[in-house]
Chain A
Amino acid sequence: MKLTKTLLASTALTVAAGMATADGHMANEMTIVSWGGAYSNSQQQAYHNPYMEKTGINIINDESSAEAVAKLRAMNEAGNVTWDVVDVVAADAIRLCDEGLAMEIDPDEHLAAAPDGTSAEDDFGDLLVSDCFIPQIVYSTTFGYRTDMVGDTPPTSVCAIFDTDAYPGKRSLEKRPINNMEWALLCDGVAKDDVYDVLETDEGQQQALDKLATIKDDVIWWSAGADTPQLLADGEVVMGSTYNGRLFSVIEEQNQPVAMLWDAQVFDLDGWIIPTGLSEERLARALDYIYFATDTQRLADQAKYISYGPARASSAPLVSTHADLGIDMAPHMPTDPNNAQNTFLYNYEFWADYRDDIDAKFQAWLAQ
């Protein structure tokens, strides 16, 4: 029967095609995990492409950084670590380090010194917040606002988010207590130096939640970094918090009527870890990649593609112009003196101690 023959033929073809593509698991590959989107693209351009050209190793991008901690735990339990280098925020790196899922790094042995001979340890300085963490960028969580929805008096202070009389409309905030609690206390009259002392106490936490409650009906809560840019572009919110690189993209690349409110921006770090449990060969390759990708010039190169500040002191003077737009990148860095007049540094110790407790309270408050 003709139909049967057709079926058999297509079956044979499928099998042949399947066999042809079945993986010869290549020894010359490494899987690098990152966040995806414009951020992964900046790493691809600044690190991966030159590295692949130099060594001939093929780099596979896995965009799983958001669930890196959970996945690394699962991989470790299953005894099958498939990632070679993982990009995580500093807080996750600290957790992974504590659980023994990330390898400890000796900066002076594993990382390149600065061109002027400064040791890597001194070049990264205070940003080496964990023994396992190799900082890559400084980013900030800050606010953007619609320039066409704030009238003649654009906001200059972070407290504008609590001022629904002057700036009516929705605002978007991240669906977690970190940063929001600090901003709430700051705008409730607590001095900047006292914020974490107040937040340690039950009354202080309640004070922050009470302040947030004044705008609860006006808040759209976001969980992915892409949410606020979308909401701002829609005009759905008048202002919202997100990562500064996202706002840069909305303003400069997409030409939306949005402006930055740098006031009380919260600095945080993002960087690499190497998972434990790699074979010797893979570990050597991962270390080689890290050595290459975190030297002074590479870190400065990344800033051509995205507005995050390089983590090395020696990279800052090398930051040049945007690769496509040709605009000077330095004024768009969160660390630029004009932008950094009033800043916070993410308090890793405080949040390591209080995160679970405050998270629970915050979620309960959200559900009320």
Chain B
Amino acid sequence: MAALTPISRTPVSFYVPVVAAAGAVAGLLVGTAQGSSLIGIIGGAILLGAIAFLLTQIIKAEAPGRWALTALFAVAGFLMGGLAAGIIGLLFGWFFGWFTFWLFEGRYRAYVAPYLTPGQVLWHYTFRVICGAILVFLITPILVVMPLSFNAEDFFTFTPEMLRFDPAGYSLKHYEDFFTNSDWQGALANSVRIAPMATLLSVSFGTLAAIGLSQPHVPFRRAIMAILISPMIVPLIISAAGMYFFYSRIGLQGTYMGVVLAHAALGIPFVIITVTATLVGFDNSLTRAAANMGAGPVTTFFRVQMPLILPGVISGGLFAFITSFDEVVVVLFVGSAGQKTLPWQMFTGLREQISPTILAVATILVIISIALLTVVEMLRRRSERLRGMSPA
């Protein structure tokens, strides 16, 4: 990106306080970890303010100054708390070196439009910081789980060995436990049996419903749609309790088919929504053209309509699959111990014994979910490409 605005150096009274404020935030984090937030805030502000002044007014050379600061912070971190703290120190040092000169040289002004007021420039960057903070807030809990799953101990605790990156602090034993323990393997087998079957039912019924409901001549379309979507909106616990009593009366409670049907009901709304969305771009004259050439409705569906709406069907199916695979409330009610799925096993495991095997399973599930969502995204792009080519 080319620079939009010519830049000039800023006065000391601007950038030193700003760096000091950022230092106070960093000091708050470090100070809280060390036991005193207040000392951290004050110490961080004074230290970073002084460093900013020193770097820009006394050392002046940017590259050596930043390298020296990075090295200094890395060593300080290492002395305070070993290797992990050293790396954090290194990142802090690099960041503050960059931040100081970014402000000092006025570089922050270069890529925003020249006519913005200082307030607007401030908001421009504040907005980005807030977005970043939200992202961190959402992602951190997932990321924290991953290293903990390699814990050598049986607790959800970062041990001193782990923080020193000592190989003795890490182990694959919780993964081993998952793959060898009959409880977990039984639960995995149940999940793998239930989810594809529930997905298949959701996709079949959901696709048919979506196609039917997209025909303009169907009466009460909106009402029917609302009823079919309701499992997504009604609180799960209510559906679950209702299904429990209903399935008990008709002998489906505690059976494989019962759980499959319950999960299919939860998955259908996702399929309806995604398929309806792809049907919006589907050209109905294609089915008429097919009929004109002598194809029956079934042939038309499989050879003309299905290939075109397939991306929607598959992404709906993936959502239905994840719903069944992640679902714990309904299966607790509708299933019995013989249908114990992975989330159920994780749920009881968390309550009765906080074992990092749960974290190992969680890590595996996160990876599976990422893979599935990647597939969905690729299908969406393929669908857009196809639709761009079709004579809409």
Contacts and interface: CB of A to CB of B under 8 A. Distances in A.
Interface of A: 1, 3-4, 11, 14-15, 17-18, 21-23, 25, 29, 31, 33, 35-40, 60-64, 66, 74-75, 77-80, 82, 224-227, 229-230, 233-234, 254
Contacts of A78: 244-245, 248-249, 253
A37 B290 CA distance: 61
Given A18-B193, A23-B255, A23-B256, A226 B337 contact: no
Contacts, number: 109
A251 B318 CA distance: 45
A78 to B, nearest CB: 4
Interface stretch (B120-128, B344-352, B370-378): B344-352
A222 to B, nearest CB: 11
24 contacts: A3-B307, A18-B196, A21-B256, A22-B257, A23-B255, A23-B338, A25-B255, A31-B337, A36-B349, A37-B349, A37-B352, A38-B353, A62-B337, A63-B348, A64-B337, A74-B244, A78-B253, A79-B248, A80-B249, A80-B253, A82-B253, A229-B155, A233-B157, A234-B156
Contact of B352 (A1, A14, A31, A224): A224
A289 to B, nearest CB: 15
A227 B354 contact: yes
Contact of A234 (B157, B248, B306): B157
Contacts of B249: 78-80
Contacts of A79: 248-249
Interface residues of B, number: 37
A233 B348 contact: no
Nearest to B159: A233
B146 interface: no
B151 to A, nearest CB: 11
B153 A254 contact: yes
Contact of A3 (B310, B336, B351): B310
A82 B336 contact: yes
A8 to B, nearest CB: 9
Contacts of B16: none
Of all A-B residue pairs in the complex, the 4 with the closest CB atoms, nearest first, are A62-B337, A78-B248, A37-B353, A36-B352
Contacts of B25: none
B9 to A, nearest CB: 49
B248 A31 contact: no
Nearest to B251: A80
B307 A4 contact: yes
A195 to B, nearest CB: 30
Contacts of B199: 14
Contacts of A31: 336-338
Interface in B184-218: 193, 196-197, 199-200
Contacts of B257: 22
Contacts of B200: 11, 14-15, 18
Contacts of A39: 352
B260 interface: yes
Contacts of A75: 248
B351 A36 contact: yes
B278 to A, nearest CB: 15
Contacts of A74: 244-245
Contact of B351 (A29, A40, A66): A66
A77 B241 CA distance: 12
Given A1-B307, A254-B154, A226 B245 contact: no
A77 B255 CA distance: 19
A91 B183 CA distance: 29
A4 B337 contact: no
Contact of B197 (A18, A66, A224): A18
Nearest to B190: A21
B44 interface: no
A15 B257 CA distance: 12
B237 to A, nearest CB: 13
Contacts of A61: 183, 337
B245 A77 contact: yes
B254 interface: yes
A75 B333 CA distance: 10
Given A1-B307, A77-B245, A14 B348 contact: no
Interface string B234-262: 00000000001100110001111100100
A14 B349 CA distance: 29
B196 A17 contact: yes
Contacts of A18: 193, 196-197, 200, 256, 260
A293 B166 CA distance: 46
A82 B254 CA distance: 8
Contacts of B193: 17-18, 21
A72 to B, nearest CB: 13
A356 to B, nearest CB: 23
B288 interface: no
B155 A4 contact: no
Contacts of B245: 74, 77-78
Interface in B287-327: 302-303, 306-307, 310
A23 B194 CA distance: 12
A29 B338 CA distance: 10
A226 B307 contact: no
Contacts of B338: 23, 29, 31, 60
Contacts of B351: 36, 66, 224, 226
A253 B254 CA distance: 36
Nearest to B153: A254
Contacts of A229: 155, 354
Nearest to A227: B354
A22 B256 contact: yes
Contacts of A25: 255
A23 B196 CA distance: 16
Contact of A1 (B260, B303, B350): B303
B335 to A, nearest CB: 10
Nearest to A225: B352
B347 to A, nearest CB: 9
